[in-house]
Structure 1
């Protein structure tokens, strides 16, 4: 099959009481409202010439994709946050509530692309200081890098485990599982019914959770190529290498995804799948219904064009939404 004939690749993002799905040109969100209705939100993907060229360059395209996803994802997160707990027709701006809601959104996004770049600095530098504090029992470059990587992995697992205990994040992780199940069912050629989707795996090779774990593994190997002494130089090269680690990790993620159907090599993606056991949970049927509705709306837009979708039609605005009764 030629590159032009290949099936399109779809991605997604779990939101508060909803799921966003995206293709090359479109992104659509469906959320469950307080009255049990479904609300849709659409944002086009603008194909900027420079970004399109950069996304063709290996090791650079991952950084571009991350920035692009963060920008679009923030719009969908804001939409879901502002409407999921409000009855249709009662959408009113409450200035006093905005700060608390914003904090809640940022908490949800902390394990996703929205806060990844900012969190990466803390995630990268804290383990460096912890490893340095224990240099008296783990001296030398190899021991320090291994200890640093251990602390980085421990920090990641501890953080995800702690936030997954909160009711809100636990529900978001269920929608994350629903998102993966829909993609897996679609890629397996199954009709998108609740039964078929529920029977599909909640784990997926292209997940951002896998990407997070690969940054730990890839970073460890890259750090062996640069000096660790003096300590100030170690700090500087860790900061400067953040985009390098991100770019290489993205390529590793794509590589493991391309091998997922090869029995002898598919195990290379298993570490990322294991992490998804923490970042995804089994969804209930109503959550799966929301994910299916979002994905079906994206497919409808792909087939008919946004201008022909009545409930999302807009001739003057770049983002539109509507509430529809749940089936």
Structure 2
């Protein structure tokens, strides 16, 4: 299979399915209760401002993250509403969707962004307060920053571990693994069959799990340059530096992806891959099939867009 070098495809796991993002569309495929596969597609639209901001280093990470949170939540909402619903109830669901489609797109997207912001704030503040509690034992600024980073890391690992104990989330992590296997198969030129895709790794350098870990590591470095006292100032600068940490972490993630084929430098991405051992699980064949079908839809939409562009140019000439 020919590789499309200019497109770095990505996606996310949803309830009983996978969403992939292409150049022209977002596609989610889910496995219904009757074992059929259902699709949810949204056209990929970007404003001129968004396209411009995505070309600016350190800023593009923030833009990409907001878009991923908003779009990902829409697709997660779709999968949550339909994966365990009997297909005989589809007509009723469609009527409800038609009356609230705009509200769903706007509302769910906003909730996704706000949820991420709230989570990031809590993930930043809780370790700050815990580290401050130990200031009598670790009074120095450097020690406080390292202790804060340690608590963040423990909080992140604990959160993921306890999530993985629930059967529902375990299946989501399996679909996460299926998503990575499909991307790895495509980028390595393998056929998109269940048998061939299953041969590939469930880990990937561009994964959002790696990004989460990099926010912890990058945060430690950034916070070394600001005071940790008094407490009110520590809280203020941590909040103000969230965009900086996110922007830098995104660049580190992109860098490790570019360096992954260089033997010596590929190890820079290993911490993120290690975290993915928790956030992904080996998928079953039927889960890989769903991921493949979702990805094929994305590729099909991109190819159709290219063909329309060629035909349009011929018409002009």
Q: Structure 2 length normalisation: TM-score?
A: 0.88
Cα deviation, 1:207-227, whole Å, max 9, x if unaligned, reads 000000000000000001111
State the match for 1:225 in structure 2.
225
Cα deviation, 1:253-280, whole Å, max 9, x if unaligned, reads 0000000000010000000000000000
The number of residues matched between the two structures is 291
Whole-Å Cα distance in 1 between the matches of residues 172 and 272 of structure 2? 19
Which structure 1 residue ranges, 5 or more long, are not aligned?
A: 96-105, 309-327
Whole-Å Cα distance in 2 between the matches of residues 221 and 148 of structure 1? 12
Measured after TM superposition, the shift of residue 89 of structure 1 is: 3.7
Alignment of 1:46-65 (within 5 A): 46-65=45-64
Measured after TM superposition, the shift of residue 75 of structure 1 is: 1.3
State the match for 1:182 in structure 2.
182
State the match for 2:150 in structure 1.
150
- The secondary structure found in structure 1 opposite 2:283 is coil
- The secondary structure found in structure 2 opposite 1:7 is coil
Measured after TM superposition, the shift of residue 44 of structure 1 is: 1.1
Contact 1:218 1:248 in 2 (8 A): yes
Measured after TM superposition, the shift of residue 25 of structure 1 is: 2.2
- The secondary structure found in structure 1 opposite 2:11 is strand
Cα deviation, 1:165-199, whole Å, max 9, x if unaligned, reads 00110000000000000000000000011111111
Whole-Å Cα distance in 2 between the matches of residues 168 and 306 of structure 1? 38
State the match for 2:10 in structure 1.
11
Cα deviation, 1:38-65, whole Å, max 9, x if unaligned, reads 0011011112011111111100000001
State the match for 1:208 in structure 2.
208
Whole-Å Cα distance in 2 between the matches of residues 188 and 164 of structure 1? 29
Q: Structure 1 length normalisation: TM-score?
A: 0.85
Alignment of 1:22-37 (within 5 A): 22-37=21-36
Q: Aligned pair 1:85/2:106, yes or no? A: no
State the match for 2:132 in structure 1.
132
- The secondary structure found in structure 2 opposite 1:34 is coil
Contact 1:25 1:47 in 2 (8 A): no
Cα deviation, 1:290-325, whole Å, max 9, x if unaligned, reads 0000001111111124999xxxxxxxxxxxxxxxxx
